[in-house]
Every structure is written in structure tokens, then in C-alpha cells.
Amino acid sequence: LSRGKIMKVLGKNLGNIFMDIPKIRNMEEFAAFSGVSRPTVSRFFHDPDSVRSVTREKLERALEQCDYRPNIFAINQNRKLTKNLGIVVPYLADPFFAEIARRIETLIIVAGFRPILLSSHGDPLLEVENLESLRSIKPAGVLLAPLGRSSNISAIEKFCLDVPTVLFDSNIEGVGDAFVGHDNFQATSVMIEYLTRTGEPPVFFEMRDPPNPNAGKRRKAYVEAMNKKELEQQIIQIDGDGWQLEEIGYRGAVKAINGKELSRSTVFCSNDRLAIGFLTAAYELGVKVGLAPDCDLRVAAHDNHPVSHFTCPRLTTISHNFAAIAQKSVDTIMALIESGERSQERTTTLFDGELIMRASA
């Protein structure tokens, strides 16, 4: 299908301007209207021959049924951009970030771009170096999951002014064109509701100085949910620095259990990696975790880390909507690239978490 034919199809719409037909403002809305994925729509307008004939026909029919006319000039201009899209994550050795990066990579490839995946390995200096390395190859855009608390905010802010950037997973307020992530308040509230309904109210188990900013939001959500239920709170903060969270959780749990610091028999860990360390400590100390009458503790956590399926007992947790976060992140950066314009207003999109009930609580 030639670009001339696309324009001919679009020209049919001129007589329909004053008719009662759907008003489509951008490519994202057209994708929803046509029932074709956003990356496929993007490929269609860049290179119609790159999509299947059945899909082309479906998109042609959709163009005839609405008033959408893409900015062909902008699309042609965007062809001059590199096809590189950067992805920067805090710690690729963590299967959580590997999983979401895998999903984002796949969507970027489908959209006809080349993903360049870099890990900051928990190092704020390396995080800035990664961004500068990407800047040197003039990427079309970048998807960034920042370290958060330890990030060089001013350096990231400067980079985001020059390069279209969408933040995901951890937010830095006011930085980048958009943020896409997990609703920590909703998810924590769901877990508190479940744990208090099925047993003793939970003790909150967290790092004193967590590396990821989501941890602070989860603590605040725990306090808020417990206050709402007029329940007594207990927050156990453990010492540790960096991203070796299982080791930090293990040491903190040994101290808490041996020191009889737990005021109740339910523990809600700030994240699954701390909980994995907690479960190991409980096993070694002869403390039985689970739902059976002879169990000493219930343990739950947050993230649905890939390893949480295989702990013993399997870990009750709150899952991120990995698919939706990856899809929205890619859709948002693609919309910025295709429009050729930066966001006038920074947007935030949060997706609800899902309770995953397993044997640990």
C-alpha cells in the first residue's frame, strides 16, 4: 500500500467533516477506535507494507469511518530520527526489573525501534553515565526507571529537558514528560484489608533507608490504612544499604525474631525481596510460616517478584500490572516521538495492584 493510497483514503474523509462521525485527535485514540494495537498502527503509517494485509484493510476501513488524518509531515520528519530507544533500569540483576524491561523491549521491537537496555546497578554515577551515553547516540526517546533517593536529580532533569523521556516504576516529581507506574496506596490498602480480615493486623517490616522511593509510599499507605481501621501500628525498620535486599531482610528478620520485636503474628514486608530474606531467617530459626493452625507467623509482601512463586511457603503478595505499565510506557514515548512535540503538561498514570493469595498468609 503506497503513501498516496493512504492519502486518498484520508481524502474521503473531507466530505465527512460535518457529519456525525468519531473525532479522533491522535494516533493513540485511532488505535483504540480501530481495535489495532498502538505499535501496529505506528508501523502502518511509517511503512504500510510492514503489517499484514488483513490488518491494513482493517485500518483503511477505520480511516474511512472517522475524521482522523495523521500529520504525514511530522511522520516524515520523525523518519530522520534514530530508531534507538533507551531503557534504563536501576538494577538489572533483580528479576523484577528484568521482567518489566523484557516486556518493554518486546513492545519497542514490535513498533519498529531498537531497544538499548542499560542498568545503573544501584550506582547514581553510572545512572548519569548511562543517560549521557544514550544522549551521544541521539535516541528518539528514553524510558527511565530512576534509582530514586540516590539519583542525581539535577543531572536527570537536565537530560529530560533535551530528550523525550518517560519515567516508569519510580517517580521523580516534575521530571520527564510523563510517569507510568504502580498505585502503591491502592495496592497497600488492598493487602491491609485482606490481612486484617483473615487474621491479626500486620506489623510493617521495611528498610530504614530504602533505595527505592516506592517504599516510602508503602509505609505512608500502611499508616493511613491502619489509622482508618483504628488499629495499632508497628513499624520495624531494619538497617542496611544498597540493593542486596534479601540479605538485608534476612539479617533484619533474625534480629527481630530473636529479639522478640514482633508484637503480632502477621508481618507485611515492604517488598518481596525483603520477604524472601525474612522467610529464610524464619526457617533457620524454626519459626513456621503459613496458614496451618500450627504456624507461628503469616508473612506477606509487595511486588509479585518472579521468585515469589517459588519460595517456601509460596509468598502472598500484591502484583504490579506488568503488562499495562509496559504498554502505557511504550505508548506514551511513541506518542511523543510521533508528534515531534514535547508534553505541555506532565502526565501521571497509575495502575492498580492485584492481590495474589498464596500459602504464606
Write out pLDDT tens, residues 318-340. 999 999 999 999 999 999 988 87
**Strand pairing category for 235-238 and 203-207:** parallel
pLDDT of residue 4: 56
Give the model's pLDDT for residue 99.
92
Buried b (16+ CB within 10 A) or exposed e, 339-357: beeeeeeeeebbbebeebe
Which tops the pLDDT comparison, 155 or 7?
155
C-alpha cell at 244: 542486596
pLDDT band at 16 (very low <50, low <70, confident <90, very high): very low
Burial category of 84 from C-beta neighbours within 10 Å (exposed 0-12, middle 13-18, buried 19 and up): middle
* DSSP secondary structure letters along 321-346: -HHHHHHHHHHHHHHHHHHTS--SS-
CB 156 within 8 A of CB 128: yes
Which of 160, 166, 163, 138 lies closest to 81, judged by CA? 138
Residue 14's pLDDT band, with cuts at 50, 70 and 90, is very low
Q: Grid cell 496451618 — which residue? A: 292
Helix (H, G, I), strand (E, B) or coil at 216: helix
Residue 346 CB-half CA count within 13 A: 17
Distance CA(294)–CA(302), nearest Å, equals 25
Smallest Cα–Cα separation from 199: which of 275, 304, 300, 272? 300
Closest CA to 305 of 237, 358, 257: 358
Residue type, 188: T
HEC string of 109-124 equals HHCCCEEEEEECCCCH
> What is the DSSP secondary structure assignment for residue 297, as one 8-state letter?
B
Q: State how far the alpha carbon of 49 is from the alpha carbons of 31, 40, 71, 107, in Å.
A: 18, 11, 19, 19
- Mean pLDDT is lowest, of 59-63, 76-80, 82-86, 320-324, for 76-80
Q: For residue 61, what pLDDT band results from cuts at 50, 70 and 90?
A: confident
C-alpha to C-alpha distance for 166 and 240, rounded to whole angstroms:
30
Cα–Cα distance for residue pair 144/120, rounded to 1 Å: 10
What pLDDT is stored for residue 131 in this prediction? 96
Mean pLDDT of 81-90: 90
First vs last C-alpha separation in the chain:
57
Please give the model's pTM, rounded to 2 decimal places: 0.76
* pLDDT tens digits, 111-142: 989 999 999 999 999 999 999 999 999 999 99
